[in-house]
Amino acid sequence: MNQPVFITGASGFIGGKIAGRLLSQGRSVRVLARRPLPELEKLGAEIVAGDLHDENALRRGCAGVGTVFHVAGRVGVWGPATDFFRVNVEGTRRVLAAARASGASRFVYTSSPSVVFNGGNLAGVDESAPLCTQAPCAYPTSKAAAEKLVRAANSPEFKTVSLRPHLVWGPGDKNVVPRVLALARTGRLKIVGPGRNLVDCTHITNVVEAHLLAESALRINPLVAGRAYFITNGEPVVLWDWINELLRGVGLPPLTKRISLGAAYGIGAVLETLWTALPLRGEPPMTRFVAKEMATDHWFRIDAARRDFGYAPRVSMADGTAELIAHLRVTG
């Protein structure tokens, strides 16, 4: 029986790709969206108009489904903590309630590795790392609180799993790589720190694969239920070497200018104060969180995902980077 699945966040990069992949497999897909999604509609998706705070829309979306993929959330490094907690925590609470009330049996949550952000290097971290309780921006703590809700909701009748993909990229990404390229083109991007920090990135194909494998595992492997898993390409790169490879690939000069982590962190603190006090529109060009992210190690072990649901990255960093450069040369 092709029991429908319900996806939140299908207007975003990850959610949209999950929806497209499921539709290509002949699955019945229903998505929550605040705006029309003509491309998914053409593929056969059913659109439920609404957002995470629209309980009627959530009930309609969850009605009769077997699996809920909760991908939607507020991302970013700046903004009122109340906004992040309203979307990431209270929104997740509402989706969980609607899913359980509808009789859904599986819940796959898109979390983030930032839930274990501790302000320092995260080198070879596994799932035993404690969830963060404090961070220089609200995103990590709000995602950690939401993940706790998802893991606590697990039961024999309602199995949940949380996935933590790191720095998702690939053709169609409108956030990670486009932002780097925009900063480089305007001369506002500098190497932060020594420039040798190792970072995990995750190709979108691998992220989608992980979500589908985790959903399947919830049906058959009791070890998966109630757990969280890091998802990466499994081959950490020197961040600034990879960025320079992308820049050269699209005809931009590689980065050579540098700023120390201490200076970047101090500038971020000052700018955050100014943006809060005045207040100024948009987000500061540097924040304490971004300074740390750009200068420290962030790579994670994926042994548990390999073991428990057979996750294996399908697109390597080399192949994915070549694909992305070719895509960017065409699309600009």
Q: Which of 209, 144, 120, 205 is nearest to 169 (CA)?
A: 205
Measured distance CA(157)–CA(224) in Å, rounded: 14
Residue 21 belongs to a domain: yes
Residue 160 lies in a domain: yes
pLDDT of residue 134: 86
pLDDT at 166: 96
Domain-located, residue 31: yes
Residue appearing with tokens 């359980």:
100
Residue 146 falls inside a structural domain: yes
Q: Is residue 240 part of a domain?
A: no
Q: What are phi and psi of 105, to 5 degrees?
A: -110, -10
73 in a structural domain: yes
Which domain covers residue 22, as residue numbers? 5-168+203-233+299-314
Residue 214 domain-assigned? yes
pTM higher than 0.85? yes
Domain assignment of residue 208, yes or no: yes
Rounded to an integer, what distance in angstroms lies between the CA atom of residue 262 and that of residue 235?
Answer: 28
Query: What integer pLDDT is reported at residue 69 of this predicted model?
Result: 98
Which of 109, 203, 204 has its CA nearest to residue 163?
Answer: 109
Nearest alpha-carbon partner for 297 in 206, 193, 210, 169: 193
State the maximum Cα–Cα separation within the chain, in Å, rounded to a whole number.
58
Residue 85 in contact with residue 142, Cβ under 8 Å?
A: yes
Cβ neighbours of residue 196 under 8 Å, at least 6 residues apart?
238, 240
Give the 3-state secondary structure of residue 307. helix
Find the catalytic residue in 139, 229, 265, 311: 139
pLDDT of residue 228: 98
List the CATH number of the domain containing 213. Answer: 3.40.50.720
CB-based contact 265:291 (threshold 8 Å) = yes
Which residues are 31's β-sheet partners? 7, 47
Tell me the C-alpha distance between 154 and 106, whole Å: 9
Domain count, the chain: 1
Report, as ranges of residue numbers, the positions in the chain whose pLDDT lies below 50.
1
**Tokens read off for 173:** 């990404």
139 classed as catalytic: yes
User: Which pLDDT score is estimated for 103?
Assistant: 97
Residue 120 pLDDT: 85
**57: its two tokens:** 């829309």
